[in-house]
Chain A
């Protein structure tokens, strides 16, 4: 008997028993769909984060944060965050030869900003005049503040496009007076649009002011929160990190064995952390999806057994008219395999639909994981084959005389 005929008749049987087929398909359908969607979004998110890291660390750079910070994968330990001062950064620029330049950061978090009658909440960050070069983001209208503004703690602000929209509408913001909290500032520039960062913060709803202004006029402190240090691309990054560490430990008079009161993040480290967090996507969730496919296989096996009992008369008849034992076996195995395979194919289609929906609504981007999805389809087919084997054996071994009675 020809295999193509058996496959054809299996597919017709599926069509004639729609409800049974539907329940048999459900587990595999959910499993393969979940696998597809989870892997696609996981890869998409990972890629977005990696792109963001490239943007953040463009070239060769180090982020220096106040406080002992996190140990790799461990808990975040705050420690004192008041010990990193602008003089430290001056010393790094002066004494570590591989360092090209550095920014200095201190912020106020969300602050109320007022222009004439309009008020809005925006994140206010203090930066050094090096910021446009260090972060590769400056002003595209007006201008960024200068070293003189920083030296004078000038009350000047460069504002993001979202702030422009909410506060000014159609009015040209350059030269206008705004208030941050109670302190008046003059708007001198508009930041290049950036979008949303991986933490979900709108980087266009930011205001940059000289960090000295944040220290003296807005917060009345003498320490900074962080620095981004640009390093000569030809220099050894790890050696530079060690040199900075040594310099800061000496400047902060830390005794041997005493933990750092600062910490540094390099692009290599961040990539490692991203890879670790993606273990969730890469391993755990696919296992959950696989369990769903296998649970679906158990349902298929049970319903196939029911189906074999229900179709005794058909089995007896087929044997009477010349079906061999293995013909009957193949018929039922192919039926269950066809069911899980077809539902796997439907699942891929459903997955693509869901992903397109997600993309259209801008929730997340994805990269379609063909290898994993095709593997899921293959597993679904194998599960169908295995699930059908036992019921098929029962059918094949049925005594036709008993079955026809």
Chain B
């Protein structure tokens, strides 16, 4: 059973006088443990695809099965619960709560789960991204790279099946960006399914598979043959 199965998904919306096809008959299957980069220029429909994969948006036509369940019949509350359990989001602009310590930011998804222990898993997730010693720092006391690592810890805390990362390095310098990719690659090596949306072809080489989308259609879908190791690149950078 595939982790993600999209079949014939269409999404249209009206923009001024034009009918825009954000998604035009998109079919995409992602297996458990894959690291897929979705590459495309802005306006290509990649964000729409990511929102749909993240259960924030529904296709007008076609089906979407997540972990074998057809989510098109789900109610809003069922979708929320499914998002909470199955999906971890990482955003370009972090979306951490201001003035709130890192540990509480990481605990946030657990509040909406039925877990009773909040700080234990949160501390473990912070430790996983190497920020255990920053747990009481508020976002304004952390660097951009550290803030994004807190956001990754938040995405991890509920042990989701899929991590959806939308331009996670877009607001970071290249070194911090590489560190973020290194963490994602590690998580992937440990078995996490990761979908990374980016417009940066270099970044897409960090993934195991590369899907290109233009004007709402998938134009390329191939395995990355010259895959780069973010950790190693980072080490080389440090030597120079």
Q: Which residues of A contact B (CB under 8 A)?
A: 1, 5-6, 9, 12, 16-17, 313-314, 316-325, 327, 400-401, 404
Q: Which residues of B contact A317 (CB under 8 A)?
A: 89, 91, 95, 97, 108
Instruction: Report yes or no: A5 in contact with B111, Cβ–Cβ below 8 A.
Output: yes
Which listed residue (A5, A313, A324) contacts B95, Cβ 8 A? A313
Instruction: Report yes or no: B83 in contact with A322, Cβ–Cβ below 8 A.
Output: yes
Instruction: Report yes or no: A314 in contact with B97, Cβ–Cβ below 8 A.
Output: yes
Q: Which residues of B contact A17 (CB under 8 A)?
A: 99
Least CB distance from B118 to A in Å reads 8
Q: Does B74 interact with chain A (Cβ within 8 Å)?
A: no
Instruction: Report yes or no: A321 in contact with B56, Cβ–Cβ below 8 A.
Output: no
Overall SS of chain A's interface = helix
Query: What is the 8 Å Cβ interface bit string for chain B, positions 90-123, against chain A (1 contact, 0 not)?
Result: 0101010101100010001101110000000000
A16 vs B54: C-alpha distance when bound (angstroms): 31
Given A325-B77, A325-B80, 17 more A-B residue pairs with CB atoms under 8 Å apart are: A1-B111, A12-B100, A17-B99, A313-B95, A314-B97, A317-B91, A317-B97, A320-B56, A320-B89, A321-B83, A321-B108, A321-B112, A321-B154, A322-B80, A322-B112, A324-B77, A404-B95
A314 vs B111: C-alpha distance when bound (angstroms): 14
Instruction: Report yes or no: A320 in contact with B112, Cβ–Cβ below 8 A.
Output: no
Given A16-B100, A324-B80; A316-B95 close (CB under 8 Å): yes
> Chain B residue with minimal CB distance to A8?
B111
Q: Does B237 interact with chain A (Cβ within 8 Å)?
A: no
Q: Does B81 interact with chain A (Cβ within 8 Å)?
A: yes
A16 vs B80: C-alpha distance when bound (angstroms): 27
A5 vs B89: C-alpha distance when bound (angstroms): 22
Instruction: Report yes or no: B80 in contact with A319, Cβ–Cβ below 8 A.
Output: yes
Least CB distance from B20 to A in Å reads 15
Which listed residue (A9, A316, A321, A404) contacts B84, Cβ 8 A? A321
Q: Does B27 interact with chain A (Cβ within 8 Å)?
A: no
Q: Does B57 interact with chain A (Cβ within 8 Å)?
A: yes
A6 vs B91: C-alpha distance when bound (angstroms): 24
A400 vs B55: C-alpha distance when bound (angstroms): 11
Instruction: Report yes or no: B95 in contact with A322, Cβ–Cβ below 8 A.
Output: no
Identify which of B56, B80, B83, B109 gathers the most chain A CB atoms within 10 Å of its CB. Answer: B80
Q: Does B63 interact with chain A (Cβ within 8 Å)?
A: no
18 pairs from A and B in contact (CB 8 Å cutoff): A5-B111, A6-B111, A16-B100, A313-B95, A314-B95, A316-B95, A317-B89, A317-B95, A317-B108, A318-B108, A320-B83, A320-B89, A322-B85, A322-B112, A323-B80, A324-B76, A324-B80, A324-B81
Q: Which residues of B contact A325 (CB under 8 A)?
A: 76-77, 80
Instruction: Report yes or no: B57 in contact with A322, Cβ–Cβ below 8 A.
Output: no
Q: Which residues of B contact A314 (CB under 8 A)?
A: 95, 97
Q: Which residues of B contact A321 (CB under 8 A)?
A: 83-84, 89, 108-109, 112, 154
Instruction: Report yes or no: B56 in contact with A327, Cβ–Cβ below 8 A.
Output: no
A327 vs B108: C-alpha distance when bound (angstroms): 13
List of 7 A-B pairs having minimum Cβ-Cβ separation, nearest first: A322-B84, A322-B112, A16-B99, A321-B109, A317-B95, A324-B80, A324-B77
A39 vs B190: C-alpha distance when bound (angstroms): 68
Identify which of A5, A314, A322, A323 gathers the most chain B CB atoms within 10 Å of its CB. Answer: A322
Least CB distance from B29 to A in Å reads 24
Instruction: Report yes or no: A9 in contact with B56, Cβ–Cβ below 8 A.
Output: no
Query: What is the 8 Å Cβ interface bit string for chain B, positions 53-64, against chain A (1 contact, 0 not)?
Result: 010110000000
Q: Which residues of A contact B112 (CB under 8 A)?
A: 1, 318, 321-324, 327
Q: Does B127 interact with chain A (Cβ within 8 Å)?
A: no
Q: Which residues of A contact B51 (CB under 8 A)?
A: 401
Identify which of B56, B77, B113 gathers the most chain A CB atoms within 10 Å of its CB. Answer: B56
A132 vs B51: C-alpha distance when bound (angstroms): 94
A38 vs B159: C-alpha distance when bound (angstroms): 57
Q: Which residues of A contact B158 (CB under 8 A)?
A: 322
A320 vs B112: C-alpha distance when bound (angstroms): 11
Identify which of B81, B83, B97, B100 gathers the most chain A CB atoms within 10 Å of its CB. Answer: B97
> Chain B residue with minimal CB distance to A6?
B111
Which listed residue (B56, B85, B109) contacts A400, Cβ 8 A? B56
Q: Which residues of A contact B76 (CB under 8 A)?
A: 324-325
Instruction: Report yes or no: A322 in contact with B54, Cβ–Cβ below 8 A.
Output: no
A313 vs B151: C-alpha distance when bound (angstroms): 14
A85 vs B9: C-alpha distance when bound (angstroms): 109
A332 vs B76: C-alpha distance when bound (angstroms): 19
A16 vs B100: C-alpha distance when bound (angstroms): 8
